[in-house]
Amino acid sequence: MDDTELTQRVAAATHENPMKLITREFMRDPYPTLRLIQRLSPAVPVINNGFRMWVVTRYDDVHTILADPELGKDLVGRRRQVVPQSMIRPERKARFAPESRRSVLDRDGADHHRLRTVLGPMFSPGRLTDYRLRLERVADRLADGFCAGARIDAVDQFARPFSATFASELLGIPEGERDGFPVWETEMLTAPTIERIEAGGRLLYEFALRMVEFKRAEPGDDLFTWLLSLHDDEGRIDADELASTIIMLTVAASEPTVAIGNGLLLLLSRPEELAKARALDYQGCVDEILRFESPFRMLPPRFFDRPLELGEVTLAPGELILLSVASANRDPRRFPDPDRFDVARTGRGHLGFGFGTHRCMGAQLGRMATEIGLRALLDRFPGSTLRIPAQDAEWRLGTFLRRLDNLPITLAR
C-alpha cells in the first residue's frame, strides 16, 4: 500500500466509520502506518476486536495520558458503562472469564494501589539479586547445550525456553505443567482467530486454578505458594485476584522472549552495533532495543470518564484509547533520528514499560532478563549470523505485541 492510499484511509476514518488498522502490511511493518497517523492527527478512530478505539501515537500525548491519574483501565468493572458505546461488531469480540481479569493490570484506584503494595516485595533489591543468579544459571545451561556451527531457531530453542524455564523455577510450576503455558500465552496474545485467542485465555485460567490446588497440596519455596498464602493465610487478596495474578505472572515472566528475539535480530543484522553493545557490556543496549522495536505496539485499551482534548480532536467520555508506545518511541520530536538503531543512545525516556501508575512493576527484572539472555548467547558465540535477511523476519499476527515468530541463526565462535 502506497502513502497516498494510506493517507486516504487515515483521512477517511470517522467516529462512525473507523479505519481497519490490522492488515498484513501492518503486521509486517507497523511503522509506516503509525508514522503517517502521527503526522496527520493526534488521534484516529480504528476498529479493533469489534470495538471502535482511538489510536494515539505522539510521544507527548501518550506520556501525558499515561501520567493522568484519572485514566481508567478496568474494563471488566466498567463493562456496562464503557463497552456498549464502543462496540461495533460484537461477533469480533474475544471473551474471557471476568474472574481471570482481576489482577493489578486490570484494576483502578484503591484496588490497583492495594495490589501494587501487596505485590511490591516480589521486586525488592534482595529478590532481584536472587533473580539475577537464577537467570544466569538458566541462560548458561541453555548455552551449554549448543555448539559452534549449530543452526538453531533462536526464538524457539533459546529465547522461549530461557524465559519459560526461569518462570517455571521462580513461580513453582511443576514439570508436568511446563510445556503448555508458553503456548497458551502466545495464543491468547497473538492468535489470528477469536476462537484461538479465547481458547488460550481459557486454558491459562484453568491452569491458574490447577496451580492454586497444587500449591495447597504441595507448597514450596516459590512465588505461587507465597501468593496462595496472601489469600489463604492473610486475606490480602481474594480468590479472583489470586487466579488472575497467577495468570499475570505466568505471562509476564515469559515476556523476555519477545525482547530477546527482537534484540538478537537487531544486533545480528547490525554488526557495528553489536560490537558497540559488547564494548558497553550491554549496558543501556536493552533500553534502545525496547525503544526501537517495542514489544508492545499498543498498550491494552484505556478510557476517561471525561472528555479528552488532543489538539483538534476531542474524545467523548468512555471512548476506548489505544496508546501506541511503538509510535511514541519513534517520535522525532522526542528521539532525534528515531528510525536509526543506536545502542549508544540508551533509549532513555522510552515508554516500552509504560508510565504512570500502571508502569510495569517488573521493568527492572525484564531489563535484567533480556540483558542476561543476550549476553549468554552472543558472548558464547560471538560470530553468530542470521540465516535470513533481516527484512524477511516473520512477525506474528496480533494487535498489541510486536513478536517474532522465529529467528533462524547459525552459531559461531
Report pLDDT for 90. Answer: 67
pLDDT of residue 69: 93
- Angle between helix 223-232 and 160-171 (nearest 10): 40
> Strand 19-20 to strand 44-48: parallel, antiparallel, or no bridges (unpaired)?
parallel
- The gap from C-alpha 159 to its chain's centroid, in whole angstroms, comes to 15
- pLDDT score for 91: 67
Secondary element (H or E) of residue 410: strand 408-410
Q: Write the DSSP string, 304-364.
A: -SS-EEETTEEEPTT-EEEE-HHHHTT-TTTSSSTTS--GGGTTTT--TT--GGGS-TTHH
Query: What is the H or E stretch that residue 47 is in?
Result: strand 44-48
Regions of the chain where pLDDT drops below 70: 1-2, 90-94, 347
Please give the pLDDT value at position 153. Answer: 97
Q: In this predicted structure, what is the pLDDT of residue 1?
A: 60
Q: Where are the domains of the chain?
A: 3-410
Residue 359: the pLDDT is: 92
User: Residue 370 — left, alpha, or beta (φ > 0 → left; ψ -120 to 50 → alpha)?
Assistant: alpha
- Taking only the tens place, the pLDDT of each residue in 214-232 is 999 999 999 999 999 999 9
- Quote the longest CA-to-CA distance of the chain: 62
pLDDT value for 4:
84
CATH architecture of 3-410: Orthogonal Bundle (1.10)
pLDDT, position 165: 94
Pair 250, 207: CB distance under 8 Å: yes
